[in-house]
Amino acid sequence: MKLFMIFLLTVGVVGCASQGGGSAGTPAQSISRSQQIAKIHTELAASYFERGQFDIALQEIDVALKSESSYAPAFNVRGLIRMALREDQQADEDFRRSLQIDSADSSAHNNYGWFLCQRGRESEAVAEFLAAVKNPLYTTPEKAYVNAGICAKKINKFKEAEEYLQRALVRQPGFPDALYGMADLSFATRDYAGAKSYFLRFLQKQTELSAENLWLAVRIERKVGDRNSEESYALQLRKRYPDARETQLLLKGE
């Protein structure tokens, strides 16, 4: 889920920089000057990271860590930057360092889990997502549950994937990412009627569809035999995303 990954990382960065990463945090009145400086520069790094300005983001992290060498959110954000740069060993070290300093940081668990999931370490990843939701102060556990579901599906653990996605929906009924995850999972398990039902619910919450969303819709409608809906989604895919990988698959008749 390419779009969801980007959204996930953005949310993780903002959370860790502004709210102590989902842990209890330090009361504002007790934050030292060095911690304030570290916090400001970590937030700046997160902002540059979101804009794809990785070099400047790393410079801001350096300033943050020079001010406060054990500032956990700075390591969390640097892990994301290094992940984007494919510096995997350093990214792994940064995420681990962040969690060593603050083991209750749900944002860091979530981000580290996504890193592991993208690098083929799915079982470790799911453990990190589940660690994230253990923190009662974590305000968005549904996101970690969805990530756990996505990652479990990658290794064909469909029962576990459904459990995690349903937990996300219990936490937040109508959560678009969970509905889409269930549509994708239902399609993978050949429950095409269920896949269409979840996708229609997803459509009620999500107006902007990605190439990936549209390609799933095309395949679902093809399986349930709704030719009109299939062609409608296919037309949107061709017109809106002519160069996308999904469009090329459509044109090849796959």
- Residue 15 belongs to domain with CATH number: 1.25.40.10
Phi, psi of 190, rounded to the nearest 5 degrees: 70, 20
What length does the chain have? 254
Q: Which domain holds residue 231?
A: 208-254
Cβ atoms of 31 and 40 within 8 Å: the answer is: no
Give the model's pLDDT for residue 207: 82
- Render each residue's pLDDT in the chain as its tens digit; 254 residues: 443 343 344 334 433 333 334 443 444 457 789 999 999 999 999 999 999 999 999 999 999 999 999 999 999 999 999 999 999 999 999 999 999 999 999 999 999 999 999 999 999 999 999 999 999 999 999 999 999 999 999 999 999 999 999 999 999 999 999 999 999 999 999 999 999 999 999 999 988 999 999 999 999 999 999 999 999 999 999 999 999 999 999 998 86
Q: In the listed set 102, 119, 136, which residue is the last one of a domain according to the structure? A: 119
Do 115 and 212 reside in the same domain of the chain? no
Please state, in angstroms and rounded to a whole number, the distance separating the CA atoms of residues 165 and 40. 35
Q: In the listed set 119, 150, 178, which residue is the last one of a domain according to the structure? A: 119
Where do we find the tokens 């007790």? 30
Cβ atoms of 215 and 246 within 8 Å: the answer is: yes
Please state, in angstroms and rounded to a whole number, the distance separating the CA atoms of residues 68 and 101. 12
| Number of domains forming the structure of the chain | 2
Please state, in angstroms and rounded to a whole number, the distance separating the CA atoms of residues 141 and 149. 12
User: Is 252 within the bounds of a domain?
Assistant: yes
Other Cβ atoms less than 10 A from the Cβ of 27: the count is: 7
Give the model's pLDDT for residue 253: 81
**Measuring CA to CA, which residue among 70, 75, 72 is closest to residue 58?**
75
Q: In the listed set 119, 148, 173, which residue is the last one of a domain according to the structure? A: 119
User: Is 161 within the bounds of a domain?
Assistant: no
Cβ atoms of 134 and 104 within 8 Å: the answer is: no
Inter-residue long-range contacts of 207-211, CB under 8 Å, 24+ positions, other chains counted: 209/236, 210/2, 210/3, 210/241, 211/237, 211/240, 211/241, 211/244, 211/245, 211/246, 211/247
User: Is 28 within the bounds of a domain?
Assistant: yes
**Measuring CA to CA, which residue among 84, 149, 74, 82 is closest to residue 107?**
74
User: Is 166 within the bounds of a domain?
Assistant: no
DSSP classification of residue 21: G
pTM for the model stands at 0.84
User: Is 133 within the bounds of a domain?
Assistant: no
User: Is 194 within the bounds of a domain?
Assistant: no
User: Is 76 within the bounds of a domain?
Assistant: yes
Do 110 and 212 reside in the same domain of the chain? no
Give the model's pLDDT for residue 10: 39
User: Is 196 within the bounds of a domain?
Assistant: no
The token pair that represents 18 in the structure block:
């502004």
